[in-house]
Amino acid sequence: MRSATGVRARRALLGAVLALGALLALPLRAQELTPAGLWQSISDDDGKPKAYVRIREVQGEFVGVIEQVINPAKRADRCKDCPGDRRDQPIVGLTIITGVHRDGEQFGGGKILDPDNGRVYSCRLTPIDGGKRLEVRGFLGLSLFGRTQTWIRQE
């Protein structure tokens, strides 16, 4: 026959172990659900790595900046077709993602610039594969009309 004190002690210990496990899992879950970090973008044309883009959260808004072009000999060094104050700016250091906010497990409401043609699209970012990859959806109007790239987390 078990004593009531022993049963309560086991339940308390089990509860403490579960609570500790949940607390330890929080940083992993938070990392999975954020597009913040360094990402390798992949070319739509040939499927090869194109650039490294650093996404940061600034006051609740996610912003992406090109940190490095992987094969600079194949790309223009300036954004000749970009709109407004980004026209003729260097590609490295160019802000291409702006205004993205958390929307559940997705991040949307922002814009993404394609520096190859200067077009600006609505943007949605979705971490996948446990945060190892990022689906980057650029579209005009409805999300149905657009394209998706999958970027690879570098850090």
- State the residue range of the domain holding 23: 1-32
Token pair belonging to 115: 């520096």
26 and 96 share one domain: no
What integer pLDDT is reported at residue 1 of this predicted model? 54
131 and 62 share one domain: yes
69 and 145 share one domain: yes
Model pTM?
A: 0.77
2 and 45 share one domain: no
Phi, psi dihedrals of residue 47, rounded to the nearest 5°: 75, 10
50 and 94 share one domain: yes
CA dihedral 155, 86, 140, 129 (to 10 degrees): 0
Domain count, the chain: 2
pLDDT in tens, 30-65: 444 799 999 999 988 888 999 999 999 999 999 999
8 and 58 share one domain: no
75 and 61 share one domain: yes
Q: Does the pLDDT value for residue 13 go beyond 90?
A: no
Phi, psi dihedrals of residue 9, rounded to the nearest 5°: -65, -40
25 and 50 share one domain: no
CA distance 90 to 74: 15
Burial 10-31 (b: 16+ CB within 10 A, else e): eeeeeeeeeeeeeeeeeeeeee
Question: The domain spanning residue 110 has which CATH number?
Answer: 2.40.128.520
91 and 136 share one domain: yes
58 and 8 share one domain: no
pLDDT in tens, 56-95: 999 999 999 999 999 888 788 999 999 999 999 999 999 9
Mean pLDDT over residues 108-124, rounded?
A: 96
